[in-house]
């Protein structure tokens, strides 16, 4: 089967997490997005969960070593409670670091170093003449196993530490966000509204304005914090009336990005499933910070809300709001909820 996909990327797209394409090919107009990336390139959930588990393990072991150093050291066959207690402090700090810091990778590496230290201590317990040498050997094997798990988690999280908004580290990796929404309007109506690019700031929260330079090229201005203007020129790379649109920044943009939207006819004339995909390619710490300011919510939520506003505008001509309605006196919590966009009400 010939696969047709909308080229939205800025280059190599990661191939993992590929979503299942539609099995239904009745409609000639249907766009196959089998090659579409469904998730951002982030540390996989498993690595995160594993790191969290290791964090709790550290906390528990650390607490045990601090509270009952004698018991722990005799269990491991190395009868040195002082060493056990200091190892406990290390474990506890590492565990808290893993569980509380946005980027757990350095703390996982600290676990790896700690494991090596523990192995050295246990090796001293395996010398001939130590009555606990059997237990020390068993502990050595156990810690070696833990070391392997720690190293695996640490290296995975380091390799994929590319979510600057979450991890705050300066390893820039491309960000992909994808979402979809069902609307009652036809693909043609959806396409027409979107193709009128000047409509975009009406529903894309991070955009200040979009101006047409010519039929295919546009100048975008993003809403930034004071003193920071983020603008770029953009061109339409694919334009299939009633079916799909894709765009990308021209060379030299401060924040290279690309996007595509597919208007997939829903079954039995039930309107359209609109699939939006946004791809950012932040290049460096300063721009990463700029991106974080640009996307004032978590980016996945933001693209979802953008698409929801698109649907509302298309179906109702307006965006539902309570912003500006009367209220009584808000408490600190109420004002904070609004500030953090937990509610749109003032």
Partner 1 sequence: MKANVWYGKEQLRVEDVPEPRILNPRDAIVRITSTAICGSDLHIYGGFIPGMLAGDIIGHEFMGEVVEVGKGVQNLKVGDRVVNPFPIACGGCFFCQQRQFSLCENSNPNAWAAERLWGHSPAGLFGYSHLLGGYAGGQAQFARIPFADVGPIKVNNSLTDEQVLFLSDVFPTGYMAAEQCNIQPGDTVAVWGCGPVGLFSIKSALLLGAGRVIAIDRFPERLRKAMEAGAETLNYEQVDVLEVLADMTGGRGPDACIDAVGLEGHSHGVFGAYDRVKQTLMLESDRPPSLRQALKACRNGGTVSIPAVYGGFLDKVLFGSIVNRALTLKSGQTHVQRYLGPLLQLIESGKIDPSFIITHTLPLSEAPKAFRMFRDKEDSCIKVVLKPWLEPPTVGAEPAGPAKPHLH
SS3 294: helix
Q: Give, for 239, the enclosing helix (H) or strand (E).
A: strand 230-240
Query: What is the nearest approach in angstroms of partner 1 to the Cβ of residue 107?
Result: 29
* Long-range contact set of residues 303-309: C-beta below 8 Å, sequence gap at least 24: 303/177, 303/178, 303/179, 303/276, 303/278, 304/179, 304/181, 305/205, 306/203, 306/204, 306/205, 306/276, 307/179, 307/180, 307/181, 307/203, 307/274, 307/276, 308/181, 309/202, 309/203, 309/204, 309/205
Inter-residue contact 218 to 210 (CB < 8 Å): yes
**286 is a site residue for partner 1 (CB under 8 A):** no
| Options 123, 182, 213, 228; binder of partner 1; rule CB under 8 A | 182
Task: For residue 274, give both structure tokens.
Answer: 């609109």
Q: Which residue has the tokens 């010939």?
A: 2
| Options 15, 127, 326, 339; binder of partner 1; rule CB under 8 A | 326
| Options 64, 93, 221, 337; binder of partner 1; rule CB under 8 A | 337
**198 is a site residue for partner 1 (CB under 8 A):** no
**298 is a site residue for partner 1 (CB under 8 A):** no
Query: What is the nearest approach in angstroms of partner 1 to the Cβ of residue 268?
Result: 12
Integer Rg of the chain from CA: 27
| Options 174, 304, 307, 310; binder of partner 1; rule CB under 8 A | 304
Q: Map residues 240-279 to x or -, x wherever contact with partner 1 holds by CB under 8 A.
A: ------------------------------xx--------
**330 is a site residue for partner 1 (CB under 8 A):** yes
When the beta carbons of 102 and 335 are compared against partner 1, the nearer one is: 335
| Options 184, 213, 267, 283; binder of partner 1; rule CB under 8 A | 184
**325 is a site residue for partner 1 (CB under 8 A):** yes
SS3 261: strand
Please report, as ranges, the residues that interact with partner 1 according to CB under 8 A: 182-184, 270-271, 301, 304-305, 308, 311-312, 315-331, 333-334, 337, 342-345
């Amino acid at each position: 089967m010939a696969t047709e996909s909308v080229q939205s990327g800025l280059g190599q797209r990661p191939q993992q997490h590929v979503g299942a394409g539609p099995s239904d090919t009745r409609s000639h107009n249907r766009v196959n997005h089998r090659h579409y990336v469904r998730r951002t390139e982030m540390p996989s959930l498993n690595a995160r969960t594993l790191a969290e588990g290791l964090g709790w393990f550290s906390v528990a072991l650390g607490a045990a070593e601090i509270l009952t150093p004698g018991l722990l050291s005799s269990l491991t066959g190395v009868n040195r409670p002082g060493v056990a207690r200091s190892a406990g402090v290390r474990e506890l700090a590492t565990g808290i670091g893993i569980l509380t810091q946005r980027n757990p990778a350095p703390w996982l590496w600290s676990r790896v170093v700690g494991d090596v230290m523990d192995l050295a201590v246990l090796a001293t317990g395996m010398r001939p003449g130590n009555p606990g040498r059997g237990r020390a050997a068993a502990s050595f094997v156990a810690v070696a196993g833990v070391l392997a798990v720690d190293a695996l988690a640490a290296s995975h999280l380091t390799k994929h530490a590319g979510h600057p908004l979450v991890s705050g580290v300066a390893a820039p990796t491309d960000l992909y966000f994808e979402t979809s929404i069902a609307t009652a309007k036809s693909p043609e109506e959806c396409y027409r509204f979107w193709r009128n690019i000047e409509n975009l700031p009406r529903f894309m929260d991070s955009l200040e304005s979009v101006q047409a330079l010519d039929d295919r090229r546009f100048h975008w201005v993003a809403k930034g914090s004071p003193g920071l203007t983020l603008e770029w020129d953009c061109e339409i790379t694919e334009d299939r009336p009633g079916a799909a649109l894709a765009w990308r920044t021209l060379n030299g943009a401060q924040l290279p990005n690309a996007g595509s939207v597919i208007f997939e006819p829903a079954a039995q004339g039930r309107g359209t499933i609109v699939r939006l995909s946004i791809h950012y390619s932040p290049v460096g710490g300063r721009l990463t910070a700029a991106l974080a300011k640009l996307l004032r919510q978590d980016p996945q939520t933001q693209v979802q809300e953008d698409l929801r506003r698109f649907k509302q505008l298309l179906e109702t001509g307006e965006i539902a709001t309570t912003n500006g309605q009367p209220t009584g006196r808000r408490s600190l919590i109420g004002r904070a909820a609004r500030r953090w966009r937990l509610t749109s009400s003032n």
